Structure 1
Amino acid sequence: MRYGAIDIGSNAVRLLIADIIQKGQDITFKKNTLIRVPLRLGDDAFLDKKISPAKMEDLVKTMKGFRLLMDVYRVEDYMACATSAMREAKNGADVVSRVRTEADIDLEIVEGQKEANIIYSTHIAENLEHNKNYLYIDVGGGSTELSVFTEGRVEVSRSFPIGTVRMLDNADEPETWDEMKEWIKDHTRKYKHMLGIGTGGNINKLFRLSEEKDGKPLSIGKLNDIYLHLRSHSLKERISVLGLNQDRADVIIPACEIYLTVMKWASVRQIFVPRVGMVDGIIETLIDKNLR
């Protein structure tokens, strides 16, 4: 049995095809195929408040390709979600209509809270130590989702329109940063020794650059050292010398800034990086819907 997960983000569009594994009551999945296309829809949405004809055409073509791949892999069920960029695009409904008509894919534009809920569907809370407090930080191209975990459950969560592509386009608002700072202070000040959990493509890459062992946390000091090292190289050098993909080499800098700022405001000294994201959450959501 195979499921498909499509994540239409502000920086990239992803398709994950996963093999579902059932052993008694235990249901897990194994990643079969993962495709990432750097369309960067956020450049249109955050500056012009709409998806341009050229980007819409590229998205429709990508969705046609994803539809064909899911057919070839005999995917039994799928879910396609669009996040921050499409939320802000005034012609988002037109994009959804074209994707349905031309690519035969039902696409849903999800609100920030549902996006956060899908990410948490990875059942990450089951692996948390119940006597510790965590701040969950998911940084995307257009938004940052924050949640406070206490006793293994979500106490409070919030989505803020602050993201890597948005920052590169100078489309982030100072008032939004102030609002996020106040929210973090209000909801974390009563906890001592709060730990961080970071998800998203950039923190996954930063963790690999840190050369920490899987399962070990990344300290704020080491994350800051990586940030300074990346900043010391030009964009071209980050690609040619450090080996970053072109569409990662620019967004990784604002991503570092968001993670470091949030950790500082919440007095978080260490962050765990489980290397899961939106597509993993979508697969778990499908498993919950169909099998659990």
Structure 2
Amino acid sequence: MADVSPPDIKRGAERKKGGTSGTVADFRYKRPSQPEKRKQSTLRRSGSHGAHNAKPVRTGERRQAFAALDLGTNNCRLLIARPSGENFTVIDAFSRVVRLGEGLAASGKLSDAAMERTLAALHVCAEKLKRRNVHLARSVATEACRRATNGADFIARVREETGIALDIISAQEEARLAVLGCHILLEDGEGPAVVFDIGGGSTELVLIEPGGPVPRILDWLSVPWGVVSLTDSVAPPGGSDEDRRARYASMRKLVDDSFAPFVERVAPVARQAKHVRLLGTSGTVTTLASLHLELPHYDRQAVDGLIVPSDSMRDICRRLATMSAAERKTVPCIGEDRARMVVAGCAILESILDIWPARDLAVADRGIREGILRSLIAANSQGQQSRSEIQSQRDDL
């Protein structure tokens, strides 16, 4: 699946329903804490990403920083990390809602206002990249720039004004990176599983065969429905519950129709699987998981790696779909930014639960950026090893 194997090996951590799972890299959005604090965090939560089993870090390796920037239809996100044995530790991060794809469904173009918002965020990212002395970086743009007629022009403008070279990646590459970044959080089990990423402008579904550091992709599908594109493509509802239910049904039909080819291919696999496993990465699933936990504020430590009953997610989806936008704004962990678009995310999620009827849903607050970081660090490590072998051969001559 991947060009190189990521520096991540799944440990034999215990998993429990409604709890956390996985012991992987340190993704905490802060500098590494003191050893005693890290130990306590690991004991409290097995999925807290502490690199407590990491190999010793070489001095040269510690100084190197790697960066991953993901410019999506709705968000601009950056992670900067340093290798830590087989894993890595995040030393800086940035995330901002930029709504780059706002109005794209109607006009086919990125609006001036959206581009200005995004450029402001990218200037912040550029400053962080300079300050952290990044050794290797990869910056990607996804569905909004793929679809917009002025997407390539915007990419050129970003390069000129910020120095950031954005790569407009294919939907297949987007799916691959998302899987690479989060597959470690799948529940233990045998047989294929589905990983999905509900973005702002598209949704990727990936059927994988887990095993080893990199799962094998068996099948995949990308559809142009994300929380922004689906919201903008279905007319706002009237003021009644009936109007809101009708709009939600329209969203479900659009998504169901676009998923139909994938459904036909994977339905036999789902029927034959002994344990149907499902993992989701997106703001939609992390938000709904927060509501399931009844959190007053979003807490990544509590959500990332959580296993939630699918029925609970469906109940939350249907409650949100019949609320007005004003009511949704008052719900903890939704707020004004997500109040307008979370219903579209719910419609997409319910369609996915119909396709792959897992009893539980594993939730990941990680994805493309982490996949990029793993690829960069692994490629750099392999390059260093190759250079070392060449030098050794020269010394022997």
AA matched with 2:149: K
Q: Which one is further off, 77-86 or 58-67?
A: 58-67
- Tell me, yes or no, if the aligned pair for 2:306 and 2:364 is still in contact at 8 Å: no
Q: Which moves more between the two structures, 62-71 or 50-59? A: 50-59
Tell whether 2:378 aligns with 1:288: yes
Q: Does structure 1 retain, via aligned residues, the 8 Å contact 2:291–2:333?
A: no
Pairs aligned (count)? 288
Query: 1:4 matched to which residue of 2?
Result: 67
Letter in 2 for 1:71: K
Does the residue aligned with 2:103 lie in a helix, a strand or coil? helix
What's the secondary structure of 1:43's corresponding residue? Answer: coil
- Find the residue that maps to 1:237 and give its secondary structure: helix
Q: What are the Cα deviations for residues 120-161 of structure 1, in whole angstroms up to 9, with x where unaligned?
A: 222625966451331111111111111112353321112111
Give the corresponding residue for 1:164. 227
- Listed one character per residue, the Cα deviations across residues 36-81 of structure 1 (whole Å, up to 9, x for unaligned) are 2211122232221111222222222322221111111222221111
CA distance in 1, matches of 2:145, 2:66: 23
Gap runs ≥5 in structure 2: 1-63, 235-250, 295-301, 383-397
Give SS of 1:261's match: helix
Residue 238 of structure 1 deviates from its aligned partner by 2.4
Is 1:239–1:246's contact at 8 Å kept on the other side of the alignment?
A: yes
Tell me, yes or no, if structure 1 residue 154 matches structure 2 residue 233: no
Residue of structure 1 aligned with 2:319, choices 220, 229, 234? 229
Greater displacement, 236-245 / 86-95: 236-245
Query: Residue 106 and residue 84 in structure 1: after superposition, are their counterparts in 2 closer, same or farther (change >3 A)?
Result: same
Contact 2:179 2:195 in 1 (8 A): no
Whole-angstrom distance in 2 between the partners of 1:233 and 1:44: 24
DSSP 3-state at the match of 2:364:
coil
Contact 2:202–2:225 (Cα < 8 Å) also in 1 = yes
TM-score (norm 1): 0.89
User: Once structures 1 and 2 are overlaid, which stretch shifts more, 78-87 or 13-22?
Assistant: 13-22
Amino acid at match of 2:151: G
Shift of 1:86: 0.7
Is 1:182 the counterpart of 2:245? The answer is: no
- Give the Cα separation in 2 of the matches to 1:109 and 1:48: 20
Which amino acid is the alignment partner of residue 268 of structure 2? R
The higher radius of gyration belongs to: 2
Q: Distance in 1 between matches of 2:103 and 2:284?
A: 21
8 Å contact from structure 1 (residues 263, 269) kept in 2:
no
Measure the CA separation in 2 of the matches of 1:29 and 1:231: 39
With 91-100 and 65-74 compared, the bigger mean Cα shift is at 65-74
- Please, which runs of 5 or more residues in structure 1 have no aligned partner? none
Choose from 137, 145, 148 the match for 1:78: 137
Task: Read off the aligned partner of 1:237 and give its amino acid letter.
Answer: E
1:38, 1:175 → 2: CA distance?
Answer: 25
Q: TM-score, normalised by structure 2?
A: 0.67
Tell me how large the CA RMSD over aligned residues is.
Answer: 2.4
Match of 2:204 in 1: 145
Deviations 1:212-237 (A, max 9, x none): 97645222210012223333543223
User: Does the 8 Å CA contact 2:220/2:262 hold for their aligned counterparts?
Assistant: no
- Shift in Å, 1:177: 3.6
Output the CA distance in 2 between the equivalents of 1:169 and 1:111: 22
Distance 1:52 1:276, change over 3 A: same
Q: Secondary structure at the match of 2:265?
A: helix
SS in 2 for 1:188: helix
Q: 2:114 aligns with which of 31, 55, 60?
A: 55
Structure 2 counterpart of 1:206: 288
1:87 aligned counterpart, secondary structure: helix
CA spacing shift, 1:243–1:128, aligned 2, 3 Å: closer
Contact 1:198 1:274 (C-alpha < 8 Å) held by counterparts: yes
Alpha-carbon contact 2:204-2:222 (below 8 Å) kept: yes
Tell me the residue number matched to 2:363: 273
**Which structure has greater strand proportion?**
1
Change (3 A) 1:114 1:243: closer
Question: Is the partner of 2:233 in helix, strand or coil?
Answer: coil
Equivalent position amino acid for 1:75 in 2? V
Distance in 1 separating the partners of 2:358 and 2:377? 33
Does the Cα contact within 8 Å between 2:282 and 2:364 map onto a contact in 1? no
Aligned residue number for residue 80 of structure 2:
17
Amino acid at match of 1:162: W
Matching residue of 2:152: 93
Give the distance between the partners of 1:125 and 1:156, measured in 2 at CA.
19
CA distance in 2, matches of 1:198, 1:54: 31
Is 1:115 paired with 2:174?
A: yes
Distance 1:130 1:226, change over 3 A: closer
Identity, in percent, stands at: 28
